[in-house]
Amino acid sequence: MFMQIGFLNGLFDSAVQVVRLLDADLVLLSPARYTVPSEQRFDVKILDRIQPNPRVQSVHPVYIDRAVSEIRVMGYGARSIRAIGVPTDAPIFIDPAMNAKCAQLAQPNQILVDRKSKKKYGFEKKDLQRLRQQEVELSGKQARMTDWVEVGTDFVYDGTIVLSERGVAHFFPTRNGFASPLSAADLGLVILKDRTPASLEAARKEFEPLVGQGVQIMTKHELIAREIGFWARNTPIGAIFSIGTVMGLVVGVIICYQILFTDISDHLAEFATLKAMGYGPSYFLRFILAQAFYLSLFGFFPGWIASWFLYYGLAEWTGLVMRLTTGRILLVFCLTFAMCTASGLLAVRKLWAADPASLFR
């Protein structure tokens, strides 16, 4: 159950990791962009309509490319990669260290490499000096890798690079056809002076008439929830891992039932003696449920420790975001306890039905 829930939430967490890394109260995107990886854009001039509003602290465009973004490290084949174009003069990420690295992208040919990108790209992941010495081409032009960032892969992207707005124009001049490469943004980030929930709703109502029908305004949390909902409901992957969790629960019930049933069978004579002495069904129920509880503990903690190592190993190997949060730990514990309790209720029926007289013949 730990692993199935880990895979399921790894799918969701990886899909929204980029959004979570961004520092924004409101996010602007095209209404046709049904999920963040889809490449539907909006006119970047729309952001200029919001900037003068007194509620606004700053507004920044973000550019995301994959269709025209192809990277080749010398000695490896050319592969598509997610390229995220960001302003270098504004801290758009929550992580200050990541903002500091983006500020170092002084030249348009400089890029940052996601250390969690898959090995097939050929990026050096341990020695920074060797990374900077690697020869790399991005969309047919020479690029310089300056440092690492940590973003993570998902079920769409196997790797990520971060570059400046000037870098977007330099490497992807045809990303918008014959129009300027920076004339259309993928996401618009709005940071407000007052970041309370009430202020967010008030600001959104003020911005909607300004941007018109061509742009959708969502809070960061709404966008994350929409992305998770898309992967959970509109793709088979979410259903597969959900079914895997249920099957793990069912198999666990069967295994625990067999353990408890065998223990009851092995000590049926002792239980029958207690039954003949006058101990009632409630006593045996409490006794078996106590066994089930201890069984859940003895199974849960080793599973927790083993899953922690597996989560870490899978995150390093695949680049997916695998988080073993407190909520997920408690969920698995509750499922484990429910599983063992159900097994105990099934197993105690044999004890209730036993006739002490027949056991001593």
30-42 pLDDT tens trace: 999 988 888 899 9
Domain presence at residue 173: yes
- pLDDT tens-place string over residues 180-212: 999 999 999 999 999 888 889 999 999 999 988
Claim to verify: residue 190 and residue 309 sit in the same structural domain: no
pLDDT at residue 357, rounded to an integer: 59
**Domain final position from 177, 203, 233:** 233
Domain presence at residue 17: no
- CA 84, CA 64: separation in Å to the nearest integer? 5
**Structure token digits, residue 72:** 């080749």
Claim to verify: residue 334 and residue 257 sit in the same structural domain: yes
pLDDT at residue 57, rounded to an integer: 93
The pTM score is 0.81
**Structure token digits, residue 6:** 């880990």
**Domain final position from 195, 218, 233:** 233
Domain presence at residue 9: no
According to DSSP, the β-strands at 42-43 and 184-185 are antiparallel
**Amino acid residing at 121:** Y
Claim to verify: residue 283 and residue 208 sit in the same structural domain: no
Claim to verify: residue 248 and residue 211 sit in the same structural domain: no
pLDDT at residue 358, rounded to an integer: 55
**Structure token digits, residue 82:** 């997610």
Domain presence at residue 142: yes
258-288 in b/e burial notation, b at 16+ Cβ within 10 A? ebbbeebeeebeebbebbeeeeeeeebeebb
Claim to verify: residue 272 and residue 308 sit in the same structural domain: yes
Claim to verify: residue 171 and residue 255 sit in the same structural domain: no
pLDDT at residue 129, rounded to an integer: 94
Domain count within the chain: 2
Residue 44 neighbours by CB distance under 10 Å: 18
**Ordered DSSP codes for 58-74:** EEEEEEEESSS-EEEET
Domain presence at residue 330: yes
Claim to verify: residue 92 and residue 195 sit in the same structural domain: yes
Claim to verify: residue 229 and residue 307 sit in the same structural domain: no
Claim to verify: residue 66 and residue 183 sit in the same structural domain: yes
Claim to verify: residue 295 and residue 202 sit in the same structural domain: no
Q: How far is CA 323 from CA 95, 192, 262, in A?
A: 18, 30, 37
Domain presence at residue 282: yes
Residues spanned by the domain of 288:
236-359
- CA 172, CA 77: separation in Å to the nearest integer? 20
Residue numbers in the chain where pLDDT is lower than 50: none
Claim to verify: residue 299 and residue 342 sit in the same structural domain: yes
Domain presence at residue 279: yes
**Domain final position from 207, 233, 259:** 233
Q: What does pLDDT average to over the chain?
A: 87
Domain presence at residue 14: no
Claim to verify: residue 117 and residue 256 sit in the same structural domain: no
pLDDT at residue 219, rounded to an integer: 94
